[in-house]
Each structure stands twice: as C-alpha cells, then as structure tokens.
C-alpha cells in the first residue's frame, strides 16, 4: 500500500529552531522540540535557561524572533493564544486578582470565554442560544469539579483555596474547553504533598482516559520523575539533552548545567 504511515503516535506540536532575543540577549536559541500525542513531556533546566520564554513562544503569548511552530499539522507561529486554544492547545494561567474574587464554579463557567477569547455580545440578542450555552457550560463545570475533586469547594472564593487547590483549579479551567495539548507552567509550585498526588493522578488520568497530551515546565524533580514519559533539559536557551528521566538524571552535562546554575 502506498502512503501508509508507520504505526505510532504522531507529533502534536513541533517547534523548529525557535529563537527569541531581548535586545542583544538571546533567551531562546534555535530551540526545537517535538511532542507526540499521549506523551507527558517535562521541560526542565536551571534558572534562566529560557523555559518560560520558550513556553510563551509555544502558547503564543510571545512571538519568536525566528523559527516555526506547528500544531496538529498547521503552522501556528503567528497565531494568538485564543486562536491556538480554538485549535486545541491550551495553557494554564495563574488566577489573577479578578478571578480570585470569583467562586470556583464561576471560574469554570467563565473559562471558555477566557481561553477562547470569545465575544458573547452578539449572543445577547439570541437569548435561547445563551441559555443553551450556559446550560452546557454548567453541566460541564459539574463534571470538571468532580474530575478535579473540587466539588466540596465549588462555592468558595478562589482566593480562599490552598495553593494546591488553586493549581487544581488552573488545570480544571482548561478542561472546560476541548483540547489536545495542555501546557502546564509549574503545576507543582506551592502544592503540599497530599494535593501533589491528586494533581499528578489527575494529569495521568487526563492522559490515559481522555487522550490529552502535556508539556510541563516544572522545578519539582519528583513530579517530573513520576509523571513524564520523556524530559527535555534546556540550558542557555537550547536543548542540552532529551530522554527518559533516568537517562537525563545521570547525564554529566545536565549535572554540570545545574551546578553551574547554582554557582
Ligand atoms: N521580557 C524580557 N526582557 C529581557 N530579558 C528577559 C525577558 N524575559 C526573560 N528574559 C531573560 O531571558 C532569560 C531566560 O528567562 P526565562 O524566564 O525564560 O528562564 P527560565 O528557564 O524560565 O527561568 P526560571 O526557571 O528561573 O523561571 C533570563 O536571563 C531572563 O532574564
């Protein structure tokens, strides 16, 4: 048969030679990465390696100085975050002051508009459609509360949640919209060990049962070790090495990069 593909998951996101300068400083330097469907890829590296900047380039918050980002076969290098979200690529974002004042449930109900940058104004002339959309969002929010184990705090203000519950809510908001790839920015930061397990279980369940793919920037090596199917180490704006956690943890260059960063 002609044109048959080898079996195995295809790349959902591919960044090729992506760079970002700040003036003369090169924060991300010809960085390439390929994440296949169903993977949980960890992006780690010492402080200042360029992880957050690279993440911003992938999610569309920043434009690359050069290079190309392809998502699900389409060139998205110049698309806004909301256009990327509509194609199925979401990122978590920290609860801003505005959202902290809302309840957990309200945060979920507004998530589709926030993620997709939807303008609901035209719908106000079509009340029945609004009712239908609200009902769908409400039903979905109830499902998502159960997935994230946040049902008991659904009417609490987001600002009153623990650090770990806030992280669960950040991830939960992405589930209000259909997606293929979720970018997680330091999901483990400020999370106590008990909720770290809930968070880790939730990510694994979303991958195993819902077919989600993840790219995670994280400093907590226990979380990386327990979750990630592969790890890419960044240093000085570039990929230093990629492999399984066991491979990279023994790597001399990786140890040197971290020691250099600490010094
Ligand atoms: N807007 C900006 N203007 C100028 N320099 C920047 C800007 N954003 C990041 N940088 C610089 O780019 C480099 C990479 O920063 P970045 O935040 O991407 O690293 P990181 O790997 O995420 O670090 P950390 O683990 O500490 O969060 C750093 O030297 C940083 O000072």
Q: What is the pLDDT of residues 53-83, one digit of tens each?
A: 999 999 999 999 999 999 999 999 999 999 9
Give pLDDT, residue 190. Answer: 86
49 lines ligand 1 (CB under 6 A): yes
| Residue 200 CA to ligand 1 centre (angstroms) | 27
Give SS3 for 249: helix
Q: What are phi and psi of 248, to 5 degrees?
A: -75, -25
| Residue 67 CA to ligand 1 centre (angstroms) | 19
Position 262 pLDDT exceeds 50 = no
| 95 secondary structure, DSSP code | P
Locate the ligand 1 atom nearest the alpha carbon of residue 237 and give its number: 14
Position 203 pLDDT exceeds 80 = yes
Q: At what angle do helices 104-116 and 127-147 cross, to 10 degrees?
A: 120
Mutation choice for ligand 1 from 18, 19, 20, 27, CB with most ligand atoms inside 8 A: 27
Least confident of 16-20, 81-85, 129-133, 146-150: 129-133
User: Residue with the nearest Cα to atom 10 of ligand 1?
Assistant: 27
Give pLDDT, residue 167. Answer: 92
Q: State mean pLDDT over 13-20.
A: 97
Locate the ligand 1 atom nearest the alpha carbon of residue 53 and give its number: 18
| Residue 22 CA to ligand 1 centre (angstroms) | 9
Give pLDDT, residue 116. Answer: 75
Give pLDDT, residue 256. Answer: 87
Report the 3 state secondary structure along 198-212.
HHHHHHHHHHHHHCC
CB 185 within 8 A of CB 92: yes
48 lines ligand 1 (CB under 6 A): yes
Between 117 and 254, the more confident residue is 254
CA-wise closest residue to 184 among 236, 223, 233, 152:
223
Q: State mean pLDDT over 223-251.
A: 94
Calculate the average pLDDT of the chain.
89
CB 174 within 8 A of CB 92: yes
Q: What does the alpha-carbon distance between residue 135 and residue 220 come to, in Å, rounded to a whole number? A: 39
| Residue 252 CA to ligand 1 centre (angstroms) | 24
| 149 secondary structure, DSSP code | T
Give pLDDT, residue 112. Answer: 85
50 lines ligand 1 (CB under 6 A): yes
CA-wise closest residue to 95 among 157, 47, 178, 142:
157
Give pLDDT, residue 77. Answer: 97
User: Residue with the nearest Cα to atom 11 of ligand 1?
Assistant: 27
Q: What is the largest CA-CA distance in the chain?
A: 63
CA dist 32 to 2, 19, 131, 159, 174, Å? Answer: 30, 9, 44, 37, 25
- The percentage of the chain sitting over the pLDDT mark of 70, rounded to a whole number, equals 90
ipTM for the complex shown: 0.95
Mutation choice for ligand 1 from 29, 46, 49, 59, CB with most ligand atoms inside 8 A: 49
237 lines ligand 1 (CB under 6 A): no
CA-wise closest residue to 227 among 193, 202, 247, 190:
202
The pLDDT tens digits of the residues spanning 171-196 come to 999 999 999 999 999 999 888 888 89
256: tokens are 């040197």
CA-wise closest residue to 171 among 153, 145, 197, 192:
145
Q: How many residues does the chain have?
A: 263
């Amino acid at each position: 048969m002609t044109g048959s593909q080898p079996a195995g998951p295809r790349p959902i996101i591919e960044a090729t030679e992506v760079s970002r300068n700040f003036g003369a400083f090169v924060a991300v330097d010809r960085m390439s990465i390929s994440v296949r469907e169903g993977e949980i890829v960890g992006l780690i590296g010492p402080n200042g390696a360029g992880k957050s900047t690279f993440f911003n380039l992938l999610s569309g918050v920043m434009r690359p100085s050069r290079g190309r980002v392809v998502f699900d076969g389409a060139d998205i290098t110049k698309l806004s975050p909301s256009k990327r979200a509509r194609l199925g690529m979401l990122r978590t974002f920290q609860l801003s002051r505005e959202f902290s004042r809302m309840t957990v449930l309200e945060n979920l109900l507004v998530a589709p508009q926030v993620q997709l940058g939807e303008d609901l104004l035209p719908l106000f002339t079509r009340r029945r459609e609004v009712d239908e959309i609200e009902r769908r969002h409400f039903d979905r929010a109830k499902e998502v509360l159960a997935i994230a184990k946040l049902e008991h705090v659904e009417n609490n203000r987001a600002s009153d949640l623990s650090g770990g519950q806030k992280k669960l809510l950040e991830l939960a908001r992405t589930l209000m919209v259909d997606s293929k790839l979720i970018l997680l920015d330091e999901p483990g930061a400020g999370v106590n060990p008990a909720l770290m397990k809930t968070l880790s279980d939730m990510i694994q369940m979303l991958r195993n049962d819902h077919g989600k793919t993840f790219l995670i920037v994280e400093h907590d090596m226990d979380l990386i070790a327990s979750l990630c199917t592969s790890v890419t180490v960044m240093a000085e704006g570039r990929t230093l090495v990629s492999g399984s956690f066991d491979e990279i943890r023994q790597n001399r260059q990786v140890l040197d990069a971290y020691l250099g960063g600490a010094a």
